């Protein structure tokens, strides 16, 4: 198989990746046939998937706009993905032109493409890092050079914690980061859950077992525990479309079809 120019040499072209499959759902161009075929198989089981991904991305934009509106000018986006429309630095810098953003991802295509579009932008940094190694993320020299951890930071873990298995202790990773945050910092999370569609959850998780990042859907109660040490801001931990919708009628009449919970917490 020919390696596309945007795929660094360490990319395994024979296996789908969560980052590239998500890019395909969002209409991006940094994906391979192996990703598209997994996505099509998933859509045939669960036709709402592209809408779910759009709904997740829309939550990310609303959360960043809300946080920027609270005066936050520093963002640490872990599991940031392949850049697409409405990237965090674009939304944050619209509200506050000097906002600083660090993107962290463990997918080589996400890192390479982020570096390509952000080259020369001193208000942003891109780190090849892993949420399962939170100490290394916090100590990374680019993180330290871009963000002052002694001032409030918004940490974004949007559609990433479900790629950390229970045995890798995602709660410890979140707590390690929380303990390093200044008061007034915030944490935004969205997370896949089977609660809205228990019938198709297992088949979807089965598909992600093909990727290097299998998916663990969690219950609302399990996701709420990631906010230990934070106070959830209104409206709490809710189905994706219900988190501060710009137009309440856009949330649809069955928001649980979007099968993900979203919330933002303020560090105590
Ligand atoms: C579904 S995408 C979400 C992208 C973006 N946060 C959004 O919501 O639009 C999930 C991203 O998390 C990344 N990821 C998965 N496990 C990770 C880990 N342990 N550490 C860092 N990134 C991870 C994947 O590579 C992928 O880019």
Q: What CA dihedral angle connects 155, 160, 164 and 169, to 10 degrees? A: 20
167 C-alpha to ligand 1 centroid (Å): 18
d(CA 66, CA 156): 13
Q: Tell me which residues have their CB closer than 6 angstroms to ligand 1.
A: 18-19, 22, 56-57, 60, 78-81, 105-107, 110, 130-132, 158-160, 163-164, 213
98 C-alpha to ligand 1 centroid (Å): 25
At residue 249, φ and ψ (nearest 5 deg) are -75, -15
Token pair in block for residue 82: 């392949």
Residue 23 has pLDDT above 70, yes or no: yes
Per-residue pLDDT band for 204 (boundaries 50, 70, 90) equals confident
Per-residue pLDDT band for 249 (boundaries 50, 70, 90) equals confident
DSSP bridge partners of 190: 158, 262
1 CB-near residues (< 8 Å, 6+ apart): 13, 14, 32
3-state secondary structure of 166: helix
- Asked if omega into 235 is within 30° of 0 (cis), the reply is yes
pTM, 2 dp: 0.96
What CATH code would you report for 18-245+253-267?
3.40.50.150
Token pair in block for residue 251: 């949330």
Query: To which H or E segment does residue 157 belong?
Result: strand 154-158
3-state secondary structure of 66: helix
Q: Whose CA is nearest to atom 27 of ligand 1?
A: 81
Q: What is the pLDDT of residue 50?
A: 92
Maximal CA-CA distance, the chain: 51
Is beta strand 186-192 parallel, antiparallel or unpaired with respect to 154-158?
parallel
Q: Whose structure tokens read 């409206």?
A: 235
Q: What is the pLDDT of residue 1?
A: 66
Q: Whose CA is nearest to atom 23 of ligand 1?
A: 79
Per-residue pLDDT band for 122 (boundaries 50, 70, 90) equals very high
159 C-alpha to ligand 1 centroid (Å): 6
- pLDDT tens-digit series, residues 62-81: 999 999 999 999 999 999 99
- pLDDT tens-digit series, residues 149-176: 999 999 999 999 999 999 999 999 999 9
Ranges of each domain in the chain: 18-245+253-267
Q: What is the pLDDT of residue 85?
A: 82
Residue 252 has pLDDT above 90, yes or no: no
107 C-alpha to ligand 1 centroid (Å): 8
Atom of ligand 1 nearest to the CA of 26: 9
Helices (H) and strands (E) in the chain, counts: 10, 8
Nearest to 14 by CA among 30, 41, 33: 33
Is beta strand 124-128 parallel, antiparallel or unpaired with respect to 100-105?
parallel
For the segment 82-108, the average pLDDT, to the nearest whole number, is 94
Q: Whose CA is nearest to atom 16 of ligand 1?
A: 163
Is beta strand 230-232 parallel, antiparallel or unpaired with respect to 260-267?
antiparallel
């Amino acid at each position: 198989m020919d390696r596309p120019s945007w795929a660094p040499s360490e990319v395994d072209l024979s296996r789908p990746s969560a980052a590239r499959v998500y890019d395909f759902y969002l209409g991006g161009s940094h994906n391979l046939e192996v990703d598209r075929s997994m996505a099509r198989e998933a859509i045939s089981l669960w036709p709402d998937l592209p809408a779910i991904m759009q709904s997740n991305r829309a939550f990310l934009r609303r959360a960043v706009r809300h946080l920027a509106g609270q005066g936050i000018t520093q963002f640490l986006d872990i599991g940031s993905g392949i850049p697409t429309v409405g990237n965090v630095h674009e939304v944050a810098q619209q509200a506050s032109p000097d906002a600083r953003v660090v993107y962290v991802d463990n997918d080589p295509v996400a890192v390479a493409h982020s570096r390509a579009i952000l080259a020369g932008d001193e208000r942003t940094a891109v780190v090849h890092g892993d949420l399962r190694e939170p100490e290394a993320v916090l100590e990374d020299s680019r993180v330290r050079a871009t963000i002052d951890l002694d001032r409030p930071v918004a940490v974004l873990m949007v559609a990433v914690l479900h790629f950390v298995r229970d045995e890798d202790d995602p709660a410890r990773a979140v707590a390690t980061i929380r303990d390093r945050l200044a008061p007034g910092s915030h944490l935004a999370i969205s997370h896949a859950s089977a609660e809205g569609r228990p019938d198709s959850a297992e088949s979807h998780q089965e598909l992600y077992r093909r990727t290097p990042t299998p998916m663990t859907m969690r219950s609302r109660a399990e996701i709420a525990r990631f906010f230990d040490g934070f106070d959830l801001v209104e409206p709490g931990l809710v189905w994706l479309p219900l988190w501060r919708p710009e137009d309440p009628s856009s949330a649809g009449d069955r928001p649980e079809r979007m099968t993900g919970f979203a919330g933002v917490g303020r560090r105590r």
